[in-house]
Amino acid sequence: MITIPEMLARNARLYADDCALVELKPSKKFRREITWKEFDSEANRVANSLLSCGVKKGDRVIHWMMNSIDWLIAYFGILRTGAWVVPLNFRFNSSDLIYCADISEARTAIVGEEFFERINEARPHLKKIKKFIAVPDNAPGYMDNYRDFIAGMGDQAPKIELRDDEGCSLYFTSGTTGKPKPILLTHSNIKSAAITEWAHHRQTRDDNFILIPPLYHTGSKMHWFGSLIVGGKATLLNEVGPRNILETVDREKGTIVWLLVPWAHDILVALEKGELNRKDYNLDSWRLMHIGAQPVPPSLIRQWKQVFPNMQYDTNYGLTESTGPGCVHLGIENLHKAGAIGKAGFNWETKIIDDKGHTLGKNQVGELAVRGDGVMKEYYKNPEKTAECLKDGWLLTGDMATMDDDGFIFLVDRKKDLIITGGENIFPVEVEDCLHNHKCVNDVAVIGIPDERLGEIAVAIIDIKPGDHLTEEEAIEFCKTHLARHKVPRKVIFDKVPRNPTGKIEKPKLRAKYSCR
């Protein structure tokens, strides 16, 4: 089976003049598109340029850019050299850059202008990086200009063998629970993500995948790989918002959109409040909305299907350690199980285990473990953590889950987010799902904070919908009518709920902010 870079080359041969990628920035009225042949040729120029300046197979190349067509060109170019691509989170600061550069031992970096200031701050500590390649023209003097760097280079693919078992990408986790962990993925890993995605959603060349989430993450990029297999194009929407999403689907005839929970929620709120009118947009082409990266409130799914009754829906579950989404998925035919993350994905196995690694029966809460071709090679330079999370090929996800009588898996919560109050277990997701059903709640997070008597108590941080009103007493009374007594939050705080770029609630920030109150 061919590798991901070879899939691009095949598309360039078969569909040379067909559109491969579109990039949009609505506020600037910017639209750019390239064909499969142009995509392939540019990636080869990047690869040949890197090789000419000394990049070798197995080297690491930092890749720090905002979403763009050039992001994907650089990504494939790096892979074709046999080096490892090291995509960095656009929220990382200069200290994070130093940390990632030190672990990866990268000697080359391709960067966007948004990060120049952070790079300048970190530069005295980046002794091993000998070459910075800047995508824009206004780069600092110590950086090479990207266009000049690839100018004059041949567009033929370098003759470098890429084997399935070889490392190809070093992904750093988003760091919501401490320092980002480096995760080494192989060519086999990322290829398996493409195969699994295609098996789940059966993309064709007629599909147009609207890419919105950050490309440095293993999420939507790996979903689009299912389109890459068959030559289906992607549209990169670089400005998120309900109006931009609906307009893009309308104008570009988007067929698949992978959304984060907040974005889906914002679309529904904008339609509900009359800020947008569903009839103003032709969304007939939009066949599939799928969602993941965090627990999905069943109430959101119900509302979505009321507004878009003919649209297919799917939930996808995964981790960076499993090469992104797909190890568990609901399946478009299983809407009656909304709220579940689903069953084992294509070519995956799942089980629920206890603290000793024993497999649990139905309807018992334990840790979700998954096994398949997407399981990472290792936590790079961290054999202890690798041994802790990889057991006989099984990846221990750190997510607490239960399996119902029909074999569908329901997330309970992150193992580390479990709240124990007076000896009773509270899983925050259950309380959050309850509060999401309140008509005034825009977003919610539940955390545990220390308590002298009970050890810790559950606190709900609620973001109220604009124009609505909700008191602490009303929120608590609402929970009392839907939850067991010990699960009702002891305190309610009204505040914004911080989420990282992939939509996950940043609970460490909330715990740090409110633990001492």
Give the domain CATH number at 461.
3.30.300.30
Q: Which of 124, 159, 187 is the last residue of a domain?
A: 187
Residue 504 lies in a domain: yes
Q: Which of 163, 187, 211 is the last residue of a domain?
A: 187
Write the burial class of residue 166 (CB in 10 Å: 0-12 exposed, 13-18 middle, 19+ buried). middle
Residue 235 lies in a domain: no
Average pLDDT of the chain to the nearest whole number: 91
C-beta neighbour count of 117 within 10 angstroms: 11
Q: Which two tokens stand for residue 158?
A: 């370098």
Q: Which two tokens stand for residue 442?
A: 């825009």
Find how far residue 108's CA is from the centre of its chain.
Answer: 25
pTM confidence score: 0.84
Residues 275 and 292 both lie in one domain: yes
Residues 410 and 293 both lie in one domain: yes
Q: Which two tokens stand for residue 318?
A: 């995964």
How far is it, in rounded angstroms, from Cα 185 to Cα 103?
Answer: 15
Is residue 479 helix, strand or coil?
helix
Query: What is the reported pLDDT for 433?
Result: 86
Q: Which two tokens stand for residue 271?
A: 């339609």
Residues 397 and 441 both lie in one domain: no
- Number of domains composing the chain: 3
pLDDT digit string, tens, across residues 348-364? 999 999 989 999 999 99
C-beta neighbour count of 267 within 10 angstroms: 24
Residues 410 and 435 both lie in one domain: no
Residues 404 and 485 both lie in one domain: no
In CATH, what number is assigned to the domain containing residue 129? 3.40.50.980
**Structural contact between residues 100 and 267, judged by C-beta atoms closer than 8 angstroms:** no
Whether the per-residue pLDDT at 129 is higher than 90: the answer is yes
Nearest to 169 by CA among 40, 76, 258: 76
Write the burial class of residue 501 (CB in 10 Å: 0-12 exposed, 13-18 middle, 19+ buried). middle
pLDDT digit string, tens, across residues 289-332? 998 766 677 888 999 999 999 999 999 999 899 998 899 999 99
Residue located via tokens 């987010």: 417
Residue 197 lies in a domain: no
Residue 487 lies in a domain: yes
Residues 477 and 361 both lie in one domain: no
Residues 337 and 433 both lie in one domain: no
Residue 6 lies in a domain: no
Residues 139 and 249 both lie in one domain: no
Residues 160 and 93 both lie in one domain: yes
**Structural contact between residues 192 and 323, judged by C-beta atoms closer than 8 angstroms:** yes
How far is it, in rounded angstroms, from Cα 458 to Cα 490?
Answer: 6
Residue 28 lies in a domain: no
Q: Which residue has the higher pLDDT, 422 or 233?
A: 233
Residues 445 and 401 both lie in one domain: no
Q: Which of 143, 166, 187 is the last residue of a domain?
A: 187
Nearest to 151 by CA among 167, 165, 137, 171: 137
Q: Which two tokens stand for residue 388?
A: 């802790």
C-beta neighbour count of 388 within 10 angstroms: 11
Residues 380 and 424 both lie in one domain: no
C-beta neighbour count of 141 within 10 angstroms: 4
Write the DSSP symbol of residue 249.
H
Residue 289 lies in a domain: yes
6 φ, ψ to 5°?
-70, -25
Query: What is the reported pLDDT for 295?
Result: 67
Residues 493 and 385 both lie in one domain: no
**The dihedral of CA 61, 67, 70, 72: what is its sign?**
positive
Domain that holds residue 250: 240-414
In CATH, what number is assigned to the domain containing residue 333? 3.40.50.12780
Residue 260 lies in a domain: yes
Whether the per-residue pLDDT at 488 is higher than 60: the answer is yes
pLDDT digit string, tens, across residues 179-216? 788 999 999 999 999 999 999 999 999 999 999 989 99
Helix (H) or strand (E) holding 411: strand 409-414
